[in-house]
């Protein structure tokens, strides 16, 4: 208990691992931003689940993106085995990059496609009925203003 409350994510995680409590060990590492160790453990410990590995990759991808390591971010995203988690994380990263205009859209799209990640809606795809998916669809197509408008209208309907 002393190590878990010490403020050190490494000591806390070690304590939890000593009693085979992977969930709390991973939580301590996540909260302490020890993503490299989290990822290593999620790959090497027999009790780690696929969801644990996917989450560690998603968090690592986010860190890479924040450090400006977009290619490494895309590589992490490509290793995520859950299609929904990978698609959501890639879509969010793509939208942030487009907003920040740090990487040309064509280059980012090419990086994603080279890793087998296709986040852009296909030509002629109908807009989804679900408001959240519809906003995502519009933003990924580059129709940011229309996406914001649709989102605000949906929120207005939910509130009234």
Answer yes or no: do 45 and 97 share one domain. Answer: yes
Cβ(79)–Cβ(57) under 8 Å?
yes
Helix, strand, coil shares, percent, the chain, to 5: 70, 0, 30
Answer yes or no: do 87 and 23 share one domain. Answer: yes
Q: Is the pLDDT of residue 2 over 70?
A: no
Say how far apart CA 61 and CA 68 lie, in whole Å: 11
Cβ(102)–Cβ(68) under 8 Å?
yes
Classify each residue of 65-91 as buried b or exposed e, where b means 16 or more C-beta atoms within 10 Å of its C-beta.
beeeebeebbbbbbbbebeebbbebbb
For residue 15, tell me if it sits in a domain. yes
pTM: 0.62
For residue 4, tell me if it sits in a domain. no
Residue span of the structural domain in which 95 resides: 9-120
pLDDT, tens digit, 9 for 90 and up, residues 67-105: 888 888 888 888 888 888 888 888 888 877 777 777 777
Angle between helix 22-31 and helix 9-18 axes, rounded to 10 deg: 170
User: How many domains in the chain?
Assistant: 2
Answer yes or no: do 66 and 106 share one domain. Answer: yes
Cβ(138)–Cβ(146) under 8 Å?
yes
Answer yes or no: do 17 and 70 share one domain. Answer: yes
Higher pLDDT, 128 or 16: 16
Answer yes or no: do 67 and 114 share one domain. Answer: yes
Say how far apart CA 108 and CA 153 lie, in whole Å: 30
For residue 150, tell me if it sits in a domain. yes
Answer yes or no: do 59 and 111 share one domain. Answer: yes
């Amino acid at each position: 208990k002393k190590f878990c409350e010490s403020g050190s994510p490494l000591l806390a995680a070690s304590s939890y691992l000593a009693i085979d409590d992977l969930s709390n060990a991973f939580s301590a590492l996540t909260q302490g931003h020890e993503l490299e160790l989290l990822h290593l453990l999620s790959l090497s410990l027999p009790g780690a689940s696929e969801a644990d590995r996917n989450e560690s990759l998603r968090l690592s991808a986010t860190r890479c993106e924040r450090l400006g390591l977009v290619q490494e971010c895309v590589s992490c995203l490509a290793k995520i085995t859950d299609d929904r988690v990978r698609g959501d994380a890639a879509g969010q990263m793509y939208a942030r990059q487009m907003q920040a205009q740090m990487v040309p859209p064509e280059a980012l799209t090419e990086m994603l496609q080279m890793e087998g990640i296709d986040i852009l809606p296909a030509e002629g795809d109908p807009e989804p009925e679900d408001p959240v998916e519809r906003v995502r669809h519009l933003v990924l197509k580059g129709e940011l203003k229309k996406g914001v408008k649709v989102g605000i209208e949906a929120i207005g309907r939910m509130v009234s």
